[in-house]
Amino acid sequence: MELSAIMKDKLNAGDNVVALHEGVLLQGWSPKAHRLLALVERNLSFGLFVFTTSRNPPQAFTDLTINFVVPIDSDFKCDIDSLSAESNSDIYINLSARNFKLFMGMDSGHETNHFFNELSRSMDLYLKNQQTLDFQWLKKYNINDIDLELGLMMNINGDNTSNNIITANMAVAENDISFPTGTQTLSSRESVIQRQMILSEEQYTNAQNFRIYIGTWNVNGQPTLSSLNDWLTCDSEPPDIYAIGFQELDLSKEAFLFNDSPREEEWLQAVTKSLNSKGNYKKVSLVRLVGMMLIVFVKNKHMDHVKNVATDTVGTGIMGKLGNKGGVAVRMDFHNTSLCFVNTHLAAHVEEYERRNQDYQNICSRMVFSNFIPPKTVKDHNQVYWFGDLNYRITEMDAISVKDLVRKNNFKNVLEADQLKQQHRAGNVFKGYKEGSINFLPTYKYDPGTNDWDSSEKNRAPAWCDRILWRGNSIKQLAYRSHPNLLISDHKPVSALFESEVRVVDLTKYRKIHEHIMKKLDKAENEYLPQVMVDNTEIIFHNVKFMEPQLKELTVANTGQVPVQFEFIKKLDDSTYCKEWLRIEPFMSFIDPGEKCDITLEVLIDKKSAYKMISGQDKLYDILVLHLDGGKDIFITVTGNYERSCFGCSLETLCYLKVPIKNIPFGKLMELENNKSNMTSDPYPVPKEVWYLVDHLYRHGLKQEHLFEHSGLRSEFVQIRNWLDNGTPDALPGSVHSVAEALLILLDSTSEPIIPYNLHATCLSAVSYYSQCKQIISQLPERSKNVFLYLCAFLQELLNHVNDNKLDVKTIASVFGEIFIRDPPRSRSDKSGHTRTSMSRKKTNFVYHFLVNDQSDLIINTSF
Amino acid sequence: MRRATDASLPTFGTMSSKASESKMSSSQYSYIFKYIIVGDMGVGKSCLLHQFTEQKFTADCPHTIGVEFGTRIIEVSGKKIKLQIWDTAGQERFRAVTRSYYRGAAGALMVYDITRRSSYNHLSSWLSDTRNLTNPGTVIYLIGNKLDMESNRDVSYEEAKQFADENGLMFLEASAKTGEYVEDAFLKTAQIIYECIQDGRLDLNAADSGVQQKILQCETNPNVEKDKSCMQC
Ligand SMILES: Nc1nc2c(ncn2[C@@H]2O[C@H](COP(=O)(O)OP(=O)(O)OP(=O)(O)O)[C@@H](O)[C@H]2O)c(=O)[nH]1
Ligand SMILES: [Mg+2]
């Protein structure tokens, strides 16, 4: 059926459709919701009808809803304005009447012209005949004005549309309230413009191709070579950007424990010398964590277009502390495109691909460039190049077949068994990343100094440990290869060359678009107020458990006419916008009219907050203030219950618990934590939880390589926690690495460390003298002393097996030093890298004494 | 019965809600006054605000979960003043959070419901918050709302008037439903603030005076320097 015929069905008899046209509500400037306009006549008087359609195109009159009816009378005004000179661009229409404003966009063309000719004719007719006209017929229509998009506009009267300057005193420091007024509007306006500029980027930038060279090499701790030309200058044309990553740059204990390395400078020199001599390069950034180093160079002539350079590092060793594995990254804006280079060294060992996947996830979530507001993560970049010793192996094929196939250049069959290819395909890792096809020999493992496969007795299948992946549009890989002539390491270097499209700003176009956006903004700012709907203002988290994150979603819908910027803001006297155990993502964002934004709230009770929950210092309760820039605030209440766990209890309390913590009432626990309980029974000398974990390690872990260096698996930690908290007759679950980590977490989650905070400084100044150290230990509270000596005795036993477990006393001392002599909470952030290094050394030395000396004199009074 | 307590106040300039004013641009007012509305939940704070800014009454107005605001431009002694009104959530559980919003208010409207004695009994606690969290110059107006429900009255005019006098508050009874005396409360508050400015009792330079003086001609040409700042984004 014709639209005008459907319309006729909708209207009362005798009312005639004169003209019909469709437009989009111009909510600010993001065209979204369609509305149908109809000019209707009865006895020479005219009315303008606004319809929403539930089906497009409408099939029957029931598909139409009347949102508004306005008489074409003296109050009716219509302004048409085309913002740009080009003839085929959009037309903007501003309709207004009593209590009614409508701002719409239509494409210019014959139909639009016709509609507006009719509209102006009806306005003329009104002027001619106004004495005799009667608009009563318009009142007979049922109007459904619960139109979210339109609702606001109808209620607007003069005052509310005028420029709104809101000084939200909250969260604005006293001296920030500046005069003259308008500063706040200006700043929000600024961010709207910025965002609009980003959205219309295509219109003021041109695509230009640049060559990006990525290199990666695990150098196995070897000293540098005099020339790296074979690797870095293998292309005749010099690239625009170099990003070069190393792993195992330095395997010394110094580097491992204190992140000090003379190798950094040596390799930087070697790399700088070996860059393509046909180009002049400047170093943009160098970042290193233990043996992982990343250097980025850009051609001199491009340096002006490199902005906002930032770096971050993530260690994924045990408890996410040690930097023996992990990643380093450099991000930058190059012209108008954001680039991120990530160099990683993922978990080793043939069968451990799950741990490698976990390391990848960890790096994704913990690599944060925090000097941006909001902070940027790896995924927030137009282009990401991710490379390094990813350590994925060949498992489903024996070494002999692999060697045989690759010798015949038959890589395809071997790659079928490549863990990275398999995990990538299964979507378990590197989602959204691509990798080029591999036409080079496996890069690991060789006998150093040769091109021969590793001849040690292990006889492992060679593998492509060293890889380069990328993510982003318009990136073309020109080459992907290894460089077998560099012989010093058991790995071969790998490199890739890309031709990547970067957006380059055209200044003339930029200015024009900028002005265009400003004009639209002026208009919108004066007309509309921000308005949102939140689907839930009371978020409840049930049965939150220690170290198990829980997520809840919240949807904020922009039901107003203008883009909304929202942000969670601080309450008076608070230093953060939410409690430490809550994470809000995003905590600030933009929403276009008609659009929604999902906000994720994540509750995680970890070692920083668990003891507060147990002792009643804090509870799962917070009120969040969601602030709309230039608008109202909405309170969101977060509540929930926390399931008690031994993690977070003091050692003192645990010693009094003879049954699993599940069976202890919360009130009793709180009394114990606050020393308000008069327990009659004798306490255990050490907590049974500590005993269970240590005993398990004693029985199954003494010969385990890298005990206390490798991180455990999250899933196993959860099982171990449940086992300790619930108490079951089954054996303690999980691998020894996970048990070891659980032990460290248990000790690290108490409110006071073994060496209480008030002895922290004394302890660090005593490290040179074993006798003083012993003195400190002998003064510790009974239970802390017991646990300390018990663990030292266990560690000594562990170190009796170094032939099997390859452990090193300094490493163990360093790991336990951080745990025993935990830094007071507030001091952690404000120490410089140097002080922190010297503190780590002291802590290591402190524990070292107790691992190499006999403690029987201290133990004498203590019986286990 | 005459509700407004201070009959000697002069009458005010006409208000500017007429359609002809709608084209008024932001630079045409001289001051911005910040108000807050506080009081127990359900006493009618949001309804008072809507009645004042939109001349309408919503019978089943939802609880305010947060802080909403409205604005209206009025005229006092020939000067245009923009009122920026913050309507707070009255529910007890939000009390700690809404305390953040008092600072910098030039006027505070403290509302109770004349048909609900408990809302009146809590006034002393609202008053101590208001006194503690605003500055000494803040004008506090006590409003007994729901005047249209005379038959259910639970707090007499005289009793509340005495409370107001003892604590040095302005006082009137009003109805957000009928609109009776609603304008008076908002406008008289502005009138007093304005007088305080005139005779120097309110220091405009104090950061939390709650008054901003509009300085005309503060528009800069936004195209000139902003180009630069945007280039880096
Ligand atoms: N009869 C009558 N009812 C009123 C009046 N003012 C408000 N109400 C009703 O009282 C109820 C509560 O009014 P609100 O304005 O939402 O109360 P509030 O103080 O904002 O409450 P919170 O937002 O929870 O702090 C609504 O159902 C209103 O319809 C009035 O003057 N007369
Ligand atoms: Mg309310």
CA distance A338 to A343: 17
Distance in Å, CA B43 to ligand 1 centroid: 5
Q: Work out the number of other CB atoms within 10 angstroms of the CB of residue A274.
A: 18
pLDDT at A2: 80
B90 lines ligand 1 (CB under 6 A): yes
Token readout for B3 is 């509700």
CA distance B200 to B191: 14
- Among B38, B40, B46, B52, name the best residue to mutate to test ligand 1's pocket (greatest count of ligand atoms within 8 A of Cβ): B46
pLDDT at A387: 98
Per-residue HEC secondary structure of chain B comes to: CCCCCCCCCCCCCCCCCCHHHHHCCHHHCCEEEEEEEECCCCCCHHHHHHHHHHCCCCCCCCCCCEEEEEEEEEEECCEEEEEEEEEECCCHHHHHHHHHHCCCCCEEEEEEECCCHHHHHCHHHHHHHHHHHCCCCCEEEEEEECHHHHHHCCCCHHHHHHHHHHCCCEEEECCCCCCCCHHHHHHHHHHHHHHHHHCCCCCCCCCCCCEEECCCCCCCCHHHHHHHHHHCC
Q: Which residue of A has its CA nearest to B208?
A: A174
Give the mean model confidence (pLDDT) for residues B154-165.
96
- Is-contact A348 A354, C-beta < 8 A? no
State the greatest distance between any 2 C-alpha atoms of chain B, in Å, as a whole number.
Answer: 66
Q: Which residue shows structure tokens 């969040």?
A: A624
B3: Cα separation from own chain's centroid: 18
Q: If you ran DSSP here, which 8-state letter would residue A324 be given?
A: T
pTM: 0.59
B89 lines ligand 1 (CB under 6 A): yes
Q: Please tell me which of the candidates B71, B93, B215 has its beta carbon nearest to residue A180.
A: B215
Q: What DSSP assignment string belongs to A633-667?
A: EEEEEEEEEE---STTS-HHHHHH--S-GGGS-HH
pLDDT at A860: 55
Between A and B, how many residue pairs show a Cβ–Cβ distance under 8 A? 133
Per-residue HEC secondary structure of A147-180 comes to: CHHHHHHHHCCHHHHCCCCCCCCCCCCHHHCCCC
pLDDT at A523: 52
Alpha carbon nearest to ligand 1 atom 13, residue? B44
Q: Please tell me which of the candidates B18, B212, B230 has its beta carbon nearest to residue A194.
A: B230
Q: If you ran DSSP here, which 8-state letter would residue A68 be given?
A: E
The tens digit of pLDDT for each residue in B37-73 reads: 999 999 999 999 989 987 889 888 899 999 987 878 7
pLDDT at B205: 65
Q: Work out the number of other CB atoms within 10 angstroms of the CB of residue A305.
A: 16
B66: Cα separation from own chain's centroid: 17
Strands (DSSP E) found in A425-493: 466-471, 475-482
CA distance B66 to A682: 52
Question: For residue B148, what are the contacts with CB-CB under 8 A and spacing of at least 6?
Answer: B175, B177, B178, B180
pLDDT at A70: 85
Q: If you ran DSSP here, which 8-state letter would residue A319 be given?
A: G
Q: Tell me which residue of A463, A486, A460 sits closest to A220, measured CA to CA.
A: A486
Q: Tell me which residue of A817, A858, A839 sits closest to A765, measured CA to CA.
A: A839
Which is higher by pLDDT, A24 or B19? A24
Q: Tell me which residue of A351, A420, A258, A313 sits closest to A713, measured CA to CA.
A: A351
A98 contacts on B by Cβ (under 8 Å):
19
Q: Please tell me which of the candidates A160, A177, A572 has its beta carbon nearest to residue B71.
A: A160
CA distance B115 to B149: 7
**Closest ligand 1 atom, residue B111 Cα:** 19
The answer to whether the Cβ–Cβ distance between B208 and A169 falls below 8 Å is yes
pLDDT at A251: 84
CA distance A329 to A833: 18
The answer to whether the Cβ–Cβ distance between B93 and A637 falls below 8 Å is yes
Q: Please tell me which of the candidates A159, A510, A635 has its beta carbon nearest to residue B94.
A: A635
pLDDT at A303: 95
Q: Tell me which residue of A234, A225, A238, A252 sits closest to A298, measured CA to CA.
A: A238
pLDDT at A320: 67
- Is-contact A391 A347, C-beta < 8 A? yes
Q: What ligand has the least distance to the C-alpha of B148?
A: 1
A180 contacts on B by Cβ (under 8 Å):
212-215, 218
CA distance A88 to A99: 32
Beta bridge partners of A292: A289
Report whether pLDDT(B78) > 60.
Answer: yes
A308 contacts on B by Cβ (under 8 Å):
232
B115 lines ligand 1 (CB under 6 A): no
pLDDT at A456: 86
Strand, helix or coil for residue A537 = coil
- Distances in Å between the Cα of A855 and the Cα atoms of A311, A690, A789 are 45, 20, 8
Question: For residue A651, what are the contacts with CB-CB under 8 A and spacing of at least 6?
Answer: A686, A687, A690, A750, A754, A783, A784, A787
Domains of chain B in start order, with CATH, are 31-213 (3.40.50.300)
pLDDT at A492: 97
CA distance A796 to B187: 81
Tell me how close the Cα of A261 comes to any Cα of chain B, in angstroms: 35
Amino acid (1-letter code) at residue A456:
S
State the greatest distance between any 2 C-alpha atoms of chain A, in Å, as a whole number.
Answer: 113
Report whether pLDDT(B229) > 60.
Answer: no
Work out whether strand A337-345 and strand A383-389 pair parallel, antiparallel, or are unpaired. Answer: parallel
pLDDT at A100: 67
The answer to whether the Cβ–Cβ distance between A626 and B34 falls below 8 Å is no
Q: For chain A (length 864 residues), average pLDDT per consecutive 10?
A: 82 88 60 76 89 77 80 82 52 71 74 85 85 83 47 29 25 25 38 70 90 97 90 95 96 77 92 95 95 96 94 85 87 95 94 93 92 84 96 92 94 95 95 95 94 87 96 94 95 97 91 76 57 92 95 91 87 84 92 91 94 92 91 92 93 90 87 76 89 94 89 92 90 92 95 92 90 91 92 93 90 93 75 78 93 76 48
Token readout for A327 is 């990643």
Torsion of the alpha carbons at A677, A683, A687 and A692, rounded to the nearest 10 = -130
pLDDT at B1: 37
- At residue A137, what are phi and psi to the nearest 5 degrees? -60, -25
Give the containing element (helix H, strand E) for A306.
strand A306-315
Q: Work out the number of other CB atoms within 10 angstroms of the CB of residue A113.
A: 12
Work out whether strand A538-544 and strand A633-642 pair parallel, antiparallel, or are unpaired. Answer: parallel
A571 contacts on B by Cβ (under 8 Å):
96-97, 100
Angle (CA) A688-A694-A695 rounded to 5° is: 85
- Is-contact A526 A161, C-beta < 8 A? yes
The answer to whether the Cβ–Cβ distance between B212 and A537 falls below 8 Å is no
Q: What DSSP assignment string belongs to A700-737?
A: HTTT-TTTTTS---HHHHHHHHHHHHH--SSPPPS-HH
pLDDT at B15: 26
Token readout for A514 is 């900028």
